[in-house]
Structure 1
Amino acid sequence: MRNNVDVLIIGAGAAGMMCAIEAGRRGRSVFIIDHASAPGEKIRISGGGRCNFTNLHAAPANYLGSNPHFCISALRRYTQRDFIALVDRHGIAWHEKTLGQLFCDGSARQIINMLVDEMRGAGVEMRLGIAVRAIHQDGEGYRVELESQSVRCRSLVIACGGKSIPKMGATGFGYEIAGQFGLKVTETRPALVPLTFNDQTLAALKPLSGIGVDATVTHGSTTFSEAMLFTHRGLSGPAILQISSYWREGDVVSVDLLPGRDVFTILKTARGRNGKQAVQTVLGDHLPKRLAQHIAETSVPDKALADLPDKQLMLVASAVHRWQVKPAGSEGYRTAEVTLGGVNTDQLDQKTMEVRSRKGLYFIGEVVDVTGWLGGYNFQWAWSSGWAAGQAA
């Protein structure tokens, strides 16, 4: 490894590799380093090993952050269509699942190999399994102390991600670097993560563990309609992961367990046709049997439909359509797909990702306070922000 380069990138993940490719294409000498032994580890495990590499509907509205407008420039300048074109040029077969989510037909390693090949073609040098000891601003550039040498660069790009999935090597190192240079970091917390219950609620819902339903989950004015799963810790599934980015401790989440149907009308009609039926029997035609039984047992007396007035049928309908639940917490960074919060974007140039007060210093990807929905949106932010920095670094 040379001691002087134009661009040094810390983090060989999605954003870092995209930035390296673009900077290298501009004729810049580029080094990319990572403490992990392999590049793109989060890419490798994503999408069940098939990599949900982008979303057809990716737009600024699908992202959270203290400044929701910050992501607009990068997302518009390097779009999902641009990344799809890159995938197509490499002959990688892909398919669309639900809600615009795109996956490789084969392995997620195809995306990693594509990025590595592109870096190689752009003259990028990559070093893995190497730790950063210190970073100093040095004249018009930066000096990065590694385990065995010191490297000077004119542009330093921080692409080392957030705290999510520490078993993959995730740390808060990027936030430490931001702090070293006097940058504000918006409070970080696990996002796209399963929610957990207290012991009392868990005991009451224990019989439902393993049951999945298509649900509509609401927090405030935000609603997601996707699959939901009861677990031995609480709730999971896409709908819950989505709402977790908006939920805070102490908040109530409202769940419609049978969206698009009118349970009151269903029960009233069933009462008129066969009043001897039990509530759980009728609900069991529309919901998993154990869930139907739980709702019936906890909302109305154990009586035949004929013995239940409209008021009590409405209680059942409310239990199905407006189940109010207060999670105790989340499963934390251990299972969180991304980190919410990060380097405050008011300090960054939205076109280049450069720190306004530190010429030549860039932050991209998950370390920045931009967090996407579940379904390929966070990878698109990595591609877009990495591309933007790569045009300037």
Structure 2
Amino acid sequence: MRTFDVLVIGAGAAGMMCAATAGQRGRSVLVVDHAEAAGKKIRISGGGRCNFTNLHTAPQSFLSGNPKFAISALKRYRPADFIALVERYGIAYHEKTLGQLFCDGSAQQIIDMLLAEMGKGSATLALQTSVEAIEPGADGFRVRLTSGLVFARSLVVATGGKSIPKMGATGFAYKVAEQFGVPVTETRPALVPLTFEPKMLESLRPLAGVSLDANVRSGKTSFREGLLFTHRGLSGPSILQISSYWREGEPITVDLAPAIDIEQWISEARIRSGRQSVVTTLAEILPRRVAELVVAEARLSGNLADLDRKAMARLIAGVSAWQVKPVGTEGYRTAEVTLGGIDTTALQSSDMQVKSVPGLYFIGEAVDVTGWLGGYNFQWAWASGRAAGLAI
């Protein structure tokens, strides 16, 4: 039976960061993953260029049952720290928008960098290796792998959540939590497109493929980014963002022209081109198919100048406060992350260790800390992995 100081289950962003950190501190580390390659979600992220962090990372950019839990790890490993690592490896990058940093080249560069960092600490990577059983002991854990038995003084679970099962995602972390009596909060798909019932889809079908800048609101939370009409419902960055806050049965409200004071614009348009049809006039600021949808839902016809006060109010509301009620999401199949997870009340925020089980750690997406779209979840992976790696 082989013995290690640390066994990390999961060769993703958080797991590799933890292994590299612990290994470079002189710990003997084994990283196992059932996949045939490390960092599979890193490889597909950001369209293959890896949106590896966000310059605006702050605790308020994360959802959790305990919003303060992430503060400790995020403060001790900031975006600047990961950027410095990227620059040491000569990886070229750029800011795309809203503080989002991407590789100029391939996301594989980030994976190679993490593997190199693991190598500096002589961490051992075992791919296509699954965990069959975990047995706690007085001073560590006996773990039966498909390759044989190992003993580790510390066990780190970095297997992520349920999102994108085709990449090998499972609920393994939650099963380990159950075994050790660690509570798990409700989990659900997040950063995911929203879907509609058939009748609504039929009315939206002509808009599939149309995109525009929009401000999308659910309750008191709103995001202004791109919106995309699809053959299933709505997608795009603003929709993915709001999906983490939306709940079944609730509507979302969309400002289809957030850069314009629509009431003032329509008043001026009535003077400038009141004899034009409402659709033609509205198509000056919206994609024509969207303008047609707004006019149809507001039950309008004729020219802009012919609208009475009530019709004008419906038109303004249709543009600035278009309200729709999704029936669901596309699920874990397309969700970028899993909302919820290992209950943070069971963990020490300083090092991600389970309070009731010394030596057991949960990091990354498996934990009930979920970031906004745009590199925030990677920064949480780096920060939580680093926190655990420094403590082991």
Give the TM interval when normalised to the shorter protein: over 0.9
Q: Give the whole-Å Cα distance in 2 for the aligned partners of 1:354 and 1:34.
A: 21
Residue 84 of structure 1 corresponds to which residue in structure 2?
Answer: 83
SS in 2 for 1:276: coil
Residue 233 of structure 1 corresponds to which residue in structure 2?
Answer: 232
Q: Give the whole-Å Cα distance in 2 for the aligned partners of 1:205 and 1:81.
A: 43
Alignment RMSD, CA only? Answer: 0.9
Residue 309 of structure 2 corresponds to which residue in structure 1?
Answer: 310
Q: Give the whole-Å Cα distance in 2 for the aligned partners of 1:65 and 1:228.
A: 25
Alpha-carbon deviation of 1:207? Answer: 1.0
SS in 1 for 2:185: strand
**1:1-393 paired onto structure 2 within 5 Å:** 3-393=2-392
Unaligned runs of 5+ in 1: none
- Structure 1 residues 121-130 or 270-279, which shifts more? 270-279
SS in 2 for 1:186: coil
Q: Give the whole-Å Cα distance in 1 for the aligned partners of 2:305 and 2:256.
A: 24
Q: Give the whole-Å Cα distance in 1 for the aligned partners of 2:387 and 2:210.
A: 43
Alpha-carbon deviation of 1:265? Answer: 2.4
1:337-360 alpha-carbon deviations (Å, 9 max, x no partner): 000000000000100100000000
Q: Give the whole-Å Cα distance in 1 for the aligned partners of 2:47 and 2:379.
A: 18
Q: Give the whole-Å Cα distance in 1 for the aligned partners of 2:95 and 2:152.
A: 41
1:279-318 alpha-carbon deviations (Å, 9 max, x no partner): 1111001000111112112214321222212321121010
Unaligned runs of 5+ in 2: none
Q: Give the whole-Å Cα distance in 2 for the aligned partners of 1:104 and 1:174.
A: 30
Q: Give the whole-Å Cα distance in 2 for the aligned partners of 1:313 and 1:301.
A: 9
Give the letter aligned to residue 217 of structure 1. V
Give the letter aligned to residue 186 of structure 1. T
Which aligned runs of 4 or more in structure 1 are off by greater than 3 angstroms?
Answer: none
Given that 1:264 and 1:316 are in contact with CA atoms closer than 8 Å, whether structure 2 keeps it comes out as no
Given that 2:191 and 2:337 are in contact with CA atoms closer than 8 Å, whether structure 1 keeps it comes out as yes
SS in 2 for 1:150: strand
1:56-113 alpha-carbon deviations (Å, 9 max, x no partner): 0101110001000000000000111000000000000000011000000000000000
1:178-223 alpha-carbon deviations (Å, 9 max, x no partner): 0000010001000000000000110111111111010000111111
Q: Give the whole-Å Cα distance in 1 for the aligned partners of 2:73 and 2:299.
A: 54
SS in 1 for 2:186: strand
**TM-score of the superposition, structure 2-length normalised?**
0.99
- Structure 1 residues 12-21 or 305-314, which shifts more? 305-314
Alpha-carbon deviation of 1:162? Answer: 0.4
The percentage of counterpart residues that share the same residue type is 61
Q: Give the whole-Å Cα distance in 2 for the aligned partners of 1:275 and 1:133.
A: 72
Give the letter aligned to residue 205 of structure 1. L
Given that 1:6 and 1:154 are in contact with CA atoms closer than 8 Å, whether structure 2 keeps it comes out as yes
Given that 2:273 and 2:281 are in contact with CA atoms closer than 8 Å, whether structure 1 keeps it comes out as no
Q: Give the whole-Å Cα distance in 2 for the aligned partners of 1:274 and 1:83.
A: 54
Give the letter aligned to residue 88 of structure 2. R
Alpha-carbon deviation of 1:270? Answer: 2.1
SS in 2 for 1:57: coil
Given that 1:268 and 1:310 are in contact with CA atoms closer than 8 Å, whether structure 2 keeps it comes out as no
Alpha-carbon deviation of 1:271? Answer: 2.0
SS in 2 for 1:266: helix
Alpha-carbon deviation of 1:392? Answer: 1.0
1:354-379 alpha-carbon deviations (Å, 9 max, x no partner): 00000000000000000000000000
Give the letter aligned to residue 52 of structure 1. N
1:118-171 alpha-carbon deviations (Å, 9 max, x no partner): 101111000000111000102210011011311001000000000000000000
Q: Give the whole-Å Cα distance in 2 for the aligned partners of 1:330 and 1:83.
A: 33
Q: How many residues align?
A: 392
Q: Give the whole-Å Cα distance in 2 for the aligned partners of 1:248 and 1:306.
A: 40
Given that 1:56 and 1:101 are in contact with CA atoms closer than 8 Å, whether structure 2 keeps it comes out as yes
